[in-house]
Structure 1
Amino acid sequence: MYLTICIPTRNRQRYCIEAIKAIAESDETDFEVIVADNSDDASILGDYFRTEVNDSRFRLLPPTDTVMPMVDNWERTIPEVRGRWISMIGDDDHMDPSVLQVIRRYEREQPELEVVAWGRMNYNWPDNRTITTLAAVPMGHATHVPDKKIVRDQLYRWSQREKRPIGGLGIYHGAVRRSLMERIKRKYSNRYFENPTVDFDNICKAVHEAKAMVFCQRPFSVLGACAASNSASTQSFEAMQKLVDEFYRELGSHERIEDEDFPFSPRLPGLAIITSIASATWWFCRKYGVDNEGFQENFAHSAVHECLSSRTVEEYRIKVEGFRQGFAAFEGGKWSSHFNPPAEFFPSTAQNELCGVHKNTMYIRESGLEKITTPAEFYHFAEAFVMPVRHLVSARQAFAA
């Protein structure tokens, strides 16, 4: 078995079933799908697998007696994996199994390859369009070998000073070789996944440990956002607060997202995503002695960018106040002076309104996609705009540094 796609899911069975149905349409045979069900009602997916799934490529891990924290649901999938390579997607996402052809090509040319990343499309399910929304399709198809020093600076130090550090070079909407996951478990607390911000937990460790990494600009998966997803919470403070509260209820005895010495809680209104990522990178570097000099100042600049992405003046005010509280308590307020958001803020009237191509990504207004109702349908629609897989696999172009 070459590739295993894992789909952890909780109480979003109808989206998960759509993900299963879409992947099952693939003609590829050298892959498997493991669905790890952590739902309150085991019967929905249990009955679906028993009556509808007649495909040996798919397996179901049923719920346990008690609800697991998300990190534990991810953790239990890896011992079940048969594939040489492993990928994780959300239950409201889509992934094209033909990516295994590209991974094979890369592995032939880079025998020590352990992480493969690719472009990801973005799509909002029809039930998650409370505001004007845009779907996104990366248009590139080049292959890059990332410079490890630059990647580590961007991840651990937040050297780009943008809203988010570099992502994708991990198991979530990427692929990690099984042997690297075993090495991670041996080195890091005898677990595959440790921090509750599971995707960045893995990115931090994979980037630190991988012998070789490759990034393909061509998209092979879709980050879907349904009404119940974490991504949906960016459209509503109330939805974000509800998801954060539920997350903490189910966290159990695991590492808290915020450390005592990093007082930027995901409970701060509107800041759950950026603070959970920042906390995960800070936690990793502190716990495992990874040099992240410059992170504090860079994070302060990133926080300003986060505030400036606000859609309304009120949202801007709330985010600024949340960060100010955090920086006042962070290392005795040492970095507060680096958090300098403008006193006045004027939100863009064109945010999420304009469609077209910008910086090698095509943006499509989703109000015009009435007949496209799932991430998989959007992926097949968008395939008309991107490089066919067969051309990527047969190409003999050199890797770009």
Structure 2
Amino acid sequence: MIEDKKYILSVIIPTRNRETYAYMSVMHILQTTDDDVQVVIQDNSDTNSLINKFENNEFRNRIKYNYSEGVLSFVDNFSKGVEGADGEYICMIGDDDGINPEIVEVVRWAKENGIEAITPEIRLNYIWPNTGISYYKNDNGNLMIVNFNLEARFYDTKKELQKLLDSGGQNYLKYNLVKIYHGIVRKSAMDKVKQVTGRYFGGLSPDIYSSVALSLVIDKVLKIDYPLTIPGVCRKSGAGHSSTGRHHGKLEDAPQLVGHTNYQWSSLVPRFYSVETLWADSALAGFVEMQKDDFVKKFNVSTLSAYCFYNYKEFDEFTEINYNQYCAARKINLIGKKSKLLKGYLVGPLKDLFNRGYNKLTRKKDAVEKFEGIETIDGAEKILSQYLKRKSLSAAIMIEKLNRLNK
């Protein structure tokens, strides 16, 4: 392996005991990109047998493999991945995900124009075969592509962080924040986070933690409506568990706690684990560890409580205890307590419900295309490539728009 090679992009893949998926994801990236792209495999599996699959591989010199024994937390596995990256820019994906090979062209443009962070819209999703998700008629490998229009805009990250706080830390992907997970960011920005916090990631959900932390050190993020990665879902993934109803429970049973000792759960978040509470806790951890207590004071506990009451009635006791303690500590009277919670419902889960219905009614019939019988992530990327050609879309056209925007 060439140790002193300088890469423009490192694609980081943390993995644990999903050797088959990880191997296919890595090979897909190596086969569709050039020598400017490095793949960093951060492996915390029970054995290091994954690397044997790459022995005598023609792309071996572009692989950075690190094996960590013992059980690491998600956070530590992500952090070690960043530590091993040699690229000027980094992008992190899961071991069941893929990329649009055009990502390299966009990163080159970012370097030439001094752009610190690019957040692409998520416009497609690949479901591996035999995942157990009932959304599709046949569980044989499904790809969904939502139309996109190549829009591009710079956003003030601090204003977007305020929106996240107003939402109680929910639906963070709809805000225009910096992302390393399925996003692009200069590694030097991640280094700034580590200088303040002592580590690259924290909380229990490293993707939202890093979005908060990076958005605190980067003032502007470029959002583009063009897919550069392919999110995947396999049966063993967290998204797969969530879709099949296996992603909430007692806090002490949270799989995200594995590898953590004496983790300090936020006092502003009900003590059970779910997508909503993990997002809220990890977002708050990002603000706290970046020493931004002024942001923490603006966190909307009422909206978070509304989401918890609405979605997890079996944990009403935990939500009620947490909300009562919050209101008591701030001397919020009964009327104020109820009115804030009502507003939380209106701007939180009820607004989401309305938006989902509205979007479904107004979405054009041809806005979504679905494909099935796709066995691997490589096959999903080929379908995407064909889709782009058919629609006369490309990264080159996207970059033309970016050049006009960046004048």
**TM-score normalised by structure 1 residue count:** 0.80
Q: Within 5 A, what are the aligned runs for 1:26-175?
A: 26-43=32-49, 45-52=50-57, 54-64=59-69, 66-109=70-113, 111=114, 113-120=115-122, 121-133=124-136, 135-158=144-167, 166=175, 169-175=178-184
- Return closer, same or farther for 1:294/1:24 CA change in 2, 3 Å cut-off: closer
Q: Deviations over 1:144-195 (max 9, x none)?
A: 101334311122332897586637622111111111111111111x111122
Equivalent in the alignment of 1:217? 225
d(CA) in 2 for partners of 1:390 and 1:356? 33
How much does 1:330 deviate? 2.8
Q: State the one-letter code of the partner of 1:207.
A: S
Q: 1:184 aligns with which of 184, 190, 193?
A: 193
How much does 1:274 deviate? 1.4
The answer to whether the 8 Å contact 1:16/1:91 transfers is yes
- Return closer, same or farther for 1:170/1:164 CA change in 2, 3 Å cut-off: closer
Q: State the one-letter code of the partner of 1:90.
A: G
d(CA) in 2 for partners of 1:225 and 1:207? 27
d(CA) in 2 for partners of 1:165 and 1:383? 25
Q: State the one-letter code of the partner of 2:64.
A: R
Q: 1:235 aligns with which of 239, 243, 254?
A: 243
The answer to whether the 8 Å contact 1:26/1:97 transfers is yes
- Return closer, same or farther for 1:117/1:360 CA change in 2, 3 Å cut-off: farther
The answer to whether the 8 Å contact 2:169/2:279 transfers is no
* Number of residue equivalences: 368
How much does 1:296 deviate? 1.8
How much does 1:374 deviate? 2.4
Structure 2: runs of 5+ lacking an equivalent? 1-6, 137-142, 328-336
How much does 1:17 deviate? 0.9
Q: 1:193 aligns with which of 198, 201, 204?
A: 201
The answer to whether the 8 Å contact 1:284/1:290 transfers is no
| Mean CA deviation greater in 139-148 or 99-108 | 99-108
How much does 1:337 deviate? 5.6
Equivalent in the alignment of 1:12? 18
Equivalent in the alignment of 1:282? 284
Q: State the one-letter code of the partner of 1:250.
A: V
**TM-score normalised by structure 2 residue count:** 0.79
Q: Does 1:295 align with 2:300?
A: yes
The answer to whether the 8 Å contact 1:327/1:336 transfers is no
Aligned-CA RMSD value: 3.5
d(CA) in 2 for partners of 1:185 and 1:76? 12
d(CA) in 2 for partners of 1:41 and 1:303? 39
1:392 is paired with a residue whose SS is helix
How much does 1:138 deviate? 4.7
How much does 1:241 deviate? 5.5
Equivalent in the alignment of 1:313? none
Structure having the higher helix fraction is 2
- Return closer, same or farther for 1:171/1:383 CA change in 2, 3 Å cut-off: same
d(CA) in 2 for partners of 1:369 and 1:168? 32
| Mean CA deviation greater in 209-218 or 290-299 | 290-299
How much does 1:137 deviate? 3.0
Structure 1: runs of 5+ lacking an equivalent? 267-271, 308-315
How much does 1:47 deviate? 1.4
- Return closer, same or farther for 1:281/1:117 CA change in 2, 3 Å cut-off: same
The answer to whether the 8 Å contact 1:119/1:221 transfers is no
Q: Does 1:259 align with 2:266?
A: yes
| Mean CA deviation greater in 333-342 or 100-109 | 333-342
Q: State the one-letter code of the partner of 2:155.
A: P
Equivalent in the alignment of 2:330? none
